[in-house]
Structure 1
């Protein structure tokens, strides 16, 4: 189960605590936090006028730092000890040596429960903070190699040439937990990143894939790359991160999908997905969506104008929607296309009504329970 760790009025980590407890009670295997400096959704429509959750989370850009928060979560919740993952961090704004230390620390403190989700990141979390956004895939590959080099060094000094992260007599002596380093789950979509995943990942972990057939094609590419690298393709876990919009009735869900806040989420989808539904992405047909969007720079009227014609079908292609039974049917189709591990994040807080968003907690917990039986 996944969670967006946004600061909550009164108790900063209240939503994280509640989500972890739901995950544990529903029998989830793992608990994941997103890693952002600010929200990938436009702050201009994240007000009580458009989304009920804004009454509890007054600033959608106020993200908690995930490694610190996961450490707190591990120490606070001891009844069911779920695996803990970051879904996902990037190799641009955080030096990979620091990431290697953070996840190795969490792995030791939790007795082997840490998972490192890695991706290239997004422009909104790099460029505004002075981090070079050019060549993100090359930077990612070098960051991944840096993490592996430090983990595999066994305390020996490491010197490694790199255009981004050169090492000169670097030392890393934190030990693996019982001889095992954290698994690395890679979020990848495009051909080059899929090849990197096949060569190096423990799991393929894409976010915002849109159709089961796209997933099957990507998984084939990952497995082919693994085979070419002399790895066992079956050793790479086929996973993904879903967002799910659920509720007590179909009418409540459809009403939420028609709201400005839910429609604004469509800006994170690429132009080709918009085109499949007969509408043009406001940033052009070749817009990449999440990776290059700068949502914090958009004002309210601009967001409303950009998204006024977003059809519900476009949103339904990018997130799971419906009653628990309907959502499970949708995931079953993905299972039939190769998926074996689903991390689901509750998007029901996008409801215009705070009451309806909170009431969706029970059907969402039902989804988590039913997933274990798929």
Structure 2
């Protein structure tokens, strides 16, 4: 499967003194550290409670006053590509929503970026989350079925050679549709699929160039799911070993173990554990604050939680759960944890530094040097 490679995911939040300042700084840092790829998410708002993203709880708000001010990903990647012609980082969306965006528009955006970057675009895609659909009037029923139809639609348009495309579909029917954009040197962007459940794992094996789930899961869970993806690929007549085993993980790091533990105990960082499912909470002897059987990230609507409700929820998050779902510790400790993922099959690791969400702005900012040390060490694995 080749050497171990590393990417960096930026939260894509508008900040100061210019909206793109923090994003561009992180991009240049990734370039300086010889990272393979730079990623941005596709959200209309965040997956954690906005009531806890104030200066009282989150030091990063000194630089990004509104943590829910998420910018549009394809526009930002085009901006980065235009302003940074010396770098050769691959650029990815991690991951876009198959239902909220019409797949023809997604196919066009990815193909355009691929042409403009001379073959460096990656289309990360998944079934999406309730928070990016339901509040905006987008149908949230049957997200996996919509995802499967979106994948077939994108492939049909890309493979059409400019011929008219007609296809029946309960979600995205095509009627004399035209797609004339060419692939870059005969190749379309790679498709990296975020998948967790059995049906999505099968779809990743059928349609994906990479298996690209997010946390929360354990390395042993990843290994089992990767086997399911490869089995589905083989059943579909594809080479199972051609699928890149990737993962997106969040990092909490600092100068010492004490500093890291203090960051993990902060309300804003703990609130991100609410996207774990009740199954994950049960492993730590607890029930999810949002109720038995709660599915986690796919169904959470955190922006409706007021401060006291959010605080009551995060107070129920076990410390042991935080240690499971985040890579956490000093740089050496984080690298040791990352090696466990490599040993369970991961060959591409995309990391996000969420340490700046702790109350101390100073420690949040200095975490960047520790995070950079982690990426450099992982690049040498």
- Indicate whether the TM-score tops 0.5: yes
Residue in 2 aligned with 1:171? Answer: 178
Residue in 1 aligned with 2:4? Answer: none
Residue in 2 aligned with 1:32? Answer: 39
Choose which of 311, 314, 338 in structure 1 pairs with 2:321.
314
Residue in 2 aligned with 1:41? Answer: 48
**Displacement after TM superposition at 1:242 (Å):** 0.8
Choose which of 300, 308, 312 in structure 2 pairs with 1:305.
312
Tell me if structure 1 keeps the 8 A contact 2:134–2:140: yes
Matched, 1:211 2:206: no
Residue in 1 aligned with 2:3? Answer: none
Choose which of 189, 205, 209 in structure 2 pairs with 1:202.
209
Tell me if structure 1 keeps the 8 A contact 2:289–2:316: no
What are the superposed Cα offsets for residues 102-121 of structure 1, whole Å, 9 maximum, x if unpaired? 01000000000000000001
**Displacement after TM superposition at 1:81 (Å):** 1.6
Residue in 2 aligned with 1:231? Answer: 238
What are the superposed Cα offsets for residues 156-205 of structure 1, whole Å, 9 maximum, x if unpaired? 00011000000100000000000000000000000000011111100000
**Displacement after TM superposition at 1:279 (Å):** 1.6
Residue in 1 aligned with 2:61? Answer: 54
Residue in 2 aligned with 1:356? Answer: 363
Residue in 2 aligned with 1:69? Answer: 76
What are the superposed Cα offsets for residues 93-144 of structure 1, whole Å, 9 maximum, x if unpaired? 1111000000100000000000000000100000000000000000000011
**Displacement after TM superposition at 1:27 (Å):** 1.1
Aligned residues: 374
**Displacement after TM superposition at 1:221 (Å):** 0.3
Residue in 1 aligned with 2:266? Answer: 259
**Displacement after TM superposition at 1:213 (Å):** 0.5
Choose which of 136, 156, 169 in structure 1 pairs with 2:163.
156
Choose which of 128, 135, 140 in structure 2 pairs with 1:128.
135
Choose which of 120, 124, 131 in structure 2 pairs with 1:113.
120
**Displacement after TM superposition at 1:91 (Å):** 1.1
Tell me if structure 2 keeps the 8 A contact 1:74–1:81: no
**Displacement after TM superposition at 1:24 (Å):** 0.7
Residue in 2 aligned with 1:343? Answer: 350
What are the superposed Cα offsets for residues 231-273 of structure 1, whole Å, 9 maximum, x if unpaired? 1110000000011111111111110111111111111110011
Residue in 2 aligned with 1:282? Answer: 289
Structure 2, unmatched stretches of 5+, are: 1-7
Structure 1, unmatched stretches of 5+, are: none
Matched, 1:328 2:340: no
What SS does structure 2 have at the residue aligned with 1:103? helix
What SS does structure 2 have at the residue aligned with 1:293? coil
What SS does structure 2 have at the residue aligned with 1:359? helix
**Displacement after TM superposition at 1:349 (Å):** 1.1
Residue in 2 aligned with 1:220? Answer: 227
Tell me if structure 1 keeps the 8 A contact 2:156–2:165: yes
More moved, 277-286 vs 334-343: 277-286
Tell me if structure 1 keeps the 8 A contact 2:284–2:320: yes
Tell me if structure 2 keeps the 8 A contact 1:198–1:223: yes
Matched, 1:139 2:132: no
CA distance in 2, matches of 1:315, 1:74: 35
CA distance in 2, matches of 1:261, 1:311: 14
CA distance in 2, matches of 1:112, 1:359: 34
What are the superposed Cα offsets for residues 269-314 of structure 1, whole Å, 9 maximum, x if unpaired? 1001111111210112211111000011111000001111312211
- After the TM superposition, list the runs of 4 or more consecutive aligned residues in structure 1 that deviate by more than 4 angstroms: none
**Displacement after TM superposition at 1:10 (Å):** 2.5
What SS does structure 2 have at the residue aligned with 1:360? helix
Query: In angstroms, what is the RMSD of aligned CA positions?
Result: 0.8
What SS does structure 1 have at the residue aligned with 2:93? strand
Choose which of 217, 232, 249 in structure 1 pairs with 2:256.
249
